[in-house]
């Protein structure tokens, strides 16, 4: 519990610098990478398909893993209603590939290790030296996870993007422990 509170106080303060885009905005295009390392446009991945776009902090985050596992429970219902799930992480492609293999998520996971998408959505924030060292003390190495030295994370977020590329729903919370419920996602997708 002490670990979670220390990590919470660290990340909550840092997340306040992010300024996410909201409902009504056009989907910003950014390059992400598939698990095999292939670069692909986020616009291409969402083109002509209603998409539940989930930004998570990485495979090292227990709150993120809980959220990703919970999404499996509603994936069929979303798909039946014309939606697909796309999860975006700052983890490098090799880690995304391993996560997909270990968890067998039925939806697409992509790497945003350069933080192009997180920046375009206004979700990116930089972890300072003290925060980076504290995370490392908890066994979390942001540089090893992303393969980069930018020391950035996204604010966890869920965006619903319609088939024309408009954001029709946006949720983000600087408290990484608070995640949007499956019920809220289904309700937003039904509107």
pTM of the model: 0.90
CATH code for the domain of 84: 3.40.30.10
pLDDT of residue 17: 62
Helix (H) or strand (E) holding 54: strand 50-55
Residue positions counted in the chain: 191
pLDDT of residue 162: 97
Q: Are strands 167-172 and 157-161 parallel, antiparallel or unpaired?
A: antiparallel
Q: What is the pLDDT along the chain (191 residues), one digit of tens a residue?
A: 444 444 444 444 445 567 899 999 999 999 999 999 999 999 999 999 999 999 999 999 999 999 999 999 999 999 999 999 999 999 999 999 999 888 889 999 999 999 999 999 999 999 989 889 989 999 999 999 999 999 999 999 999 999 999 999 999 998 889 999 999 999 999 98
> Which token pair is 95?
């880690």
> Which token pair is 117?
């998408």
Find out whether 87 and 105 touch, Cβ atoms under 8 Å.
yes
The total of structural domains in the chain comes to 1
Give per-residue pLDDT as tens, 87-121. 999 999 999 999 988 888 999 999 999 999 999 99
CA max distance for the chain:
46
Residue 118 domain boundaries: 2-190
């Amino acid at each position: 519990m002490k670990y979670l509170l220390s990590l919470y106080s660290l990340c909550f303060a840092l997340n306040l610098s992010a300024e996410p885009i909201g409902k009504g905005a056009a989907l910003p295009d950014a390059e992400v990478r598939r698990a095999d390392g292939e670069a692909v446009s986020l616009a291409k991945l969402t083109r002509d398909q209603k998409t539940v776009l989930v930004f998570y902090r990485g495979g090292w985050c227990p709150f993120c893993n809980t959220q990703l596992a919970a999404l499996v429970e509603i994936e069929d219902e979303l798909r039946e209603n014309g939606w697909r799930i796309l999860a975006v992480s700052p983890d490098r492609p090799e880690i995304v590939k391993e996560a997909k293999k270990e968890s067998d998520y039925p939806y697409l996971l992509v790497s945003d290790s350069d933080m192009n998408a997180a920046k375009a959505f206004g979700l990116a924030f930089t972890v300072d030296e003290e925060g980076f060292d504290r995370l490392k003390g908890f066994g979390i190495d942001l540089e090893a996870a992303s393969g980069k030295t930018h020391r950035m994370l996204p604010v966890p977020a869920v965006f619903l993007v319609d088939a024309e590329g408009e954001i029709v729903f946006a949720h983000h919370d600087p408290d990484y422990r608070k995640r949007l419920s499956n019920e809220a996602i289904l309700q937003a997708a039904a509107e």
